[in-house]
Structure 1
């Protein structure tokens, strides 16, 4: 029976970040994954790295987690000259687009807030925006530019972090979870000093009922074109729509890819878990994108696909001790911010599980806020 200091369930971006973090602290790591590492929600993500501002929010939890994680991303990228190439990193920056005067005022408030935190933020009026991104619709009022944001290709990052962790990869599906022990569907049994749940929606079997819910999303990518985009382009209403739990939404979110393609998002369908493309929702999403990028209808689509985001019921990820299983820890429910916040989530979980002073206030992410029932 294989033994490790830490047994991680799930080899998505958060699981890989946890494997790397525990290994950095001198612990042996094994990772259980039933499919390909970096698959699932990780493979279906855009890989956008950004700091989420807290302007107008009731708390700054997302800001604190995303900003700390962006600091850690910067450190990792700087550790080796290979990391940028291996992760397909590009510091493309983000343009938060204002479609009307109300959104332009919001852009101004966000710029002031980010600048008050010492972060780079620049307001672009309609003419400046047109010069920077001429393919955007001329009706747009302006944009907020955050130049430090970037993008990566998440499946490649996952493989790199697993390699760095020297983790033992175990292929299989978890059947039973007990403190310090995991049994797979084929009967194999593994033990560890601690178990970490990073399995996205699959973790629901071992958590309080109702704490995680699926949000289905559609993505499309175009054929390459000569005249392309320079920034990640996002409508200013994106974050607000992303947190809705009672309404299906589409938002404008387009990312330039290295080969000249456009990666197009995004949509959210609450409670939907089927993997098939939803054509009406895909058409809504593409129509939304075409409203911002009039040249899009002349583009050929290379591929369309869907993914399922694991979201928590209250919008904050679960990071901390399992509410009822000893020596079991949880890091899941990040929804659309799992790529950005993976490193800070792993750091915080390692600090909590090893009884070290936490770098962030962990209370907003405590899984115990959903009760201690164990449905499995």
Structure 2
């Protein structure tokens, strides 16, 4: 199959075959498939972005719908990472451009999208230092001092990582290295990337490569902007009280939500984890002062819980518990009210 025929229906069928391979964690079959396409003349960038990336999105959808377990999702992702490595090892592009450090922000473990960015840039001729997932800010800065890249490409898939991403962006700029941000965590159209002072933003790996080719390395800002809304310290206090708030929420939930009494240890652990995610997304919304960071997550969570047979009322009860606990947090309480409304919409959708 040539590069020109790897499109449309052919690509869709190939994608189904690839998804089957990774779904059963068949590393050899997945690698044989992509290398066979390469030998037939398929464009390697097309394989990365037109085959592997869509399969990864589908994997996430299958997990969210409860059709795939976490273990199966992890296995499939690991196979895709090996397939990406096989493509690049087969092509072995030589660097002809400058140097880019590519990393996930501190606390971000969704590394494959950022890895795809690194390999697309490598295919376009850039010398790449790919540092992988969960790169602590101080260690990244040490690497910058040692390697002297032209730009940092920073990936962030979850908005809960934005405070750490902000710290990383600021630290990189302080040592004279501009930052190009990417990933869903930076919001639609990169609005949080701009808010946090990133020097550039790109929605996709190929867009990032095109931007660097067209405009070159971004310039550093004259001075970083401040987030005035953080002056109320709601974000800071919420983060400090996370463990206490979670413990009190679980205790209150046991009193007001009768089904919790029948939960086993694993269900209780999952409930605490879900409540922790609510706190984390609420904190992120406070940090960027944007309620949709929280309410969009509520809608998504309601859909996921519904697919797992958890009633929407459980989510609403948890939100009301937090609302009652955070009496001295006006911005947080306002966002929680909106979250409760979003949960009602999700519950109505489930019942219809």
TM-score normalised by the chain length of structure 2: 0.24
More strand by percentage: 1
Larger Rg: 2
TM-score normalised by the chain length of structure 1: 0.22
More helix by percentage: 2
